[in-house]
Each structure stands twice: as C-alpha cells, then as structure tokens.
C-alpha cells in the first residue's frame, strides 16, 4: 500500500466522503447502524487517538472496520457488532481501507431490509 500525503491524501478523503454520502443516501437505516457500531467501539475500547496506528507509528485518528469476511462466506459488511473487528488507524492508512469498503458496498446491492 502506498503512502498517501498532500494532494493525493486530500483527493482520497474527498473520494471517501463522496462514496460515504452516496452509500448513506442509499441505505439510511444501515448508516445509522454504522454510527451505533462506532459508538460501541468507542465505549468499549476508547477513542482512537488513545492508540497508535496499527500500520505505522502515527497517532490513530479513526476506528476502521478491517474485516471483510463473515461466517456465511465472503461479504463486505458496513459495520460489525464485534468491537475487536475494528482497528485504530491514522488518516493515510484509514482512507484506502474505508474507500475500498465503501466502493464495494456501493457496487453491491446491500439489502438493509434484513436489519
Ligand atoms: Zn498509519
């Protein structure tokens, strides 16, 4: 994974926000579950800035869901109920992971009615 910085990082953040907005509009109910799941991670594990990024020496800024598989087979999930499925990451490391997940979630017809 290449290191993101400067303009590339700003562009990546913008792209992530765009994908996030797109996904949130498509699945407002699931988006609420994502927020609730992140609140749960903060409750049990604390704020991400209390940690060092798991991929470098920087201070972490976000909790990021890094799992992409579930018991029933490969699936990209919007969130996890397992607080240990999240890793504290710095922005340059968090963005590509989030972007990949959001891209997959937007491409895949995610059925929020099952929640
Ligand atoms: Zn990092």
Share of the chain above pLDDT 90, in %: 57
- How far does Cα 81 stand from its chain's mean position? 13
| Average pLDDT over every residue of 3-13 | 90
- How far does Cα 92 stand from its chain's mean position? 13
- Kindly report, residue by residue over 41-53, the tens digit of the pLDDT: 999 999 999 999 9
- Centre of ligand 1 from the C-alpha of residue 89, in Å: 5
- How far does Cα 110 stand from its chain's mean position? 16
Q: Which domain holds residue 33?
A: 6-109
- Kindly report, residue by residue over 62-84, the tens digit of the pLDDT: 999 986 655 455 567 788 889 99
Alpha-helical (H) ranges within the chain are: 6-26, 28-45, 91-107
Residue 37, in any domain of the structure: yes
How many structural domains does the chain have?
Answer: 1
With b for 16 or more beta-carbon neighbours within 10 A and e for fewer, the 27-55 pattern comes to: beebbeebeebbebbeeeeeebeebebeb
- Centre of ligand 1 from the C-alpha of residue 18, in Å: 22
- Centre of ligand 1 from the C-alpha of residue 9, in Å: 13
Residue 17, in any domain of the structure: yes
């Amino acid at each position: 994974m290449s290191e993101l910085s400067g303009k590339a990082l700003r562009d990546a953040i913008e792209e992530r926000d765009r994908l996030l907005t797109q996904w949130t509009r498509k699945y407002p109910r699931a988006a609420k579950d994502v927020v609730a799941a992140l609140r749960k991670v903060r409750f049990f594990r604390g704020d991400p800035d209390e940690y060092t990024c798991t991929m470098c020496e920087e201070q972490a800024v976000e909790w990021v869901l890094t799992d992409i598989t579930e018991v029933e087979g490969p699936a990209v999930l919007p969130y996890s109920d397992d607080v240990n499925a999240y890793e504290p990451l710095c922005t340059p490391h968090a963005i590509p992971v989030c972007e990949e997940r959001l891209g997959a979630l937007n491409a895949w017809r995610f059925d929020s009615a099952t929640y």
